[in-house]
């Protein structure tokens, strides 16, 4: 928090929902997923490894969750997370979540649509992967590229 007074830095951390001395990666967040999804659990484990503290909520159907958090149907994936007021849909890399929280754009959140091979939680036994994008979700169903992988 270079350039801020100690009071300003503490206020900025409070706005971001962080305690002093904690990093953005140490943020707690909620992940909504269905009970039997193994790739969702793999993504949650990777987020834990990156220092995040996910709280999992098992739901029967994600449609209501996506509707509540304004995730367009064409970007739906197998789990929906919410962190510091942003939605994180699908197999988004931890570094993209970190960038989102650091940049704090005026947006609904970020998404990796579908289940691309090689995305976090979607690793393939043979190491193969497909190129994918993380999209920034904007009001009115608009979106733009946030990161390429």
* pLDDT > 60? residue 38: yes
Average the pLDDT over 26-32 and give the result.
84
The per-residue pLDDT for range 114-141, each reduced to its tens digit, is 888 888 878 888 888 999 999 999 999 9
Predicted local distance difference test score (pLDDT) of residue 25: 52
Please, what are the domains in the chain? Answer: 10-148 (3.40.30)
**Per-residue 3-state assignment (H helix, E strand, C coil) for the chain:** CCCCCHHHHHHHHHHHCCCCCCCHHHCEEEEEECCCCHHHHHHHHHHHHCCCEEEEEECCCCHHHHHHCCCCHHHCCCEEEEECCEEEEECCCHHHHHHHHHHCCCCCEEEECCCCCCCCCCCCCCCCCCCCEEEEECHHHCEEEEEEC
The per-residue pLDDT for range 49-61, each reduced to its tens digit, is 999 999 999 999 9
* pLDDT > 60? residue 14: no
- The predicted model scores a pTM of 0.80
């Amino acid at each position: 928090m270079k350039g801020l007074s100690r009071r300003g830095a503490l206020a900025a951390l409070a706005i971001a929902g962080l305690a002093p001395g904690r990093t953005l990666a140490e943020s707690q967040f909620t992940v909504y997923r269905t009970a039997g999804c193994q790739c969702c659990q793999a993504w949650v484990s990777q987020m834990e490894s990156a220092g995040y503290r996910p709280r999992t909520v098992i739901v029967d159907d994600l449609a209501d969750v996506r509707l509540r958090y304004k995730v367009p149907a064409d970007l739906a994936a197998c789990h929906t997370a919410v962190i510091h007021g942003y939605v994180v849909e699908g197999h988004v890399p931890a570094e993209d979540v970190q960038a989102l929280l650091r940049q704090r754009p005026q947006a609904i959140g970020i998404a990796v649509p579908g289940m691309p091979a090689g995305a976090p939680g979607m690793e393939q036994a043979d190491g193969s992967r497909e190129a994918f994008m993380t999209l920034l979700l904007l009001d009115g169903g608009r979106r733009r590229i946030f990161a390429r992988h």
